[in-house]
Amino acid sequence: MAVDLRLIGLLSRALNHELSAVQQYLAQATLTALWGMEAESKRFREDVHAELRHAELLMETLLGYGVAPGAAQLTPVRMGRTLAEMLAMDRVLEIEAVRIYEEAVRYCERTRAAEVCVLLSKILEDEVAHIKELDEWRATLPKEAAYG
């Protein structure tokens, strides 16, 4: 059976995005730690672990297809000068993830790639939940911090 190059491309694109998210959240965890914001740093580190798990699942899938995983080019980190700006940048990052996974799920549904569809649908759910968590976190910030 021939490898579906479009599916491999979608999986690789998702992997690239997940590794870019790891880079962004790790940079934010480091910066907030430098600012003395330990609770926030810990929360960003939890995000790093969630995104790494997604990356691992995508790598397993690619390897299952006999394709060596590789992120072509990581997206530059979007830091922000305040916690509010960081969270706003992270929301944009997560919305991009949702778009990637929605496209990939639609493709898997059309091509009847059921196993991959289940995986991508689960990651999509995680990304949607993460947007909600970011919105809830942003809502707890003082009004003056809410806009950076």
Would you say the pTM of this structure is higher than 0.85? yes
DSSP letter assigned to residue 77:
P
pLDDT of residue 85: 94
Is residue 14 within 8 Å of residue 104, measured between CB atoms?
Answer: yes
Is residue 147 within 8 Å of residue 88, measured between CB atoms?
Answer: no
pLDDT of residue 2: 67
pLDDT of residue 3: 78
Q: What is the mean pLDDT of each run of 10 residues along the chain (148 residues)?
A: 86 97 97 96 97 97 93 86 95 97 97 95 98 95 60
pLDDT of residue 148: 42
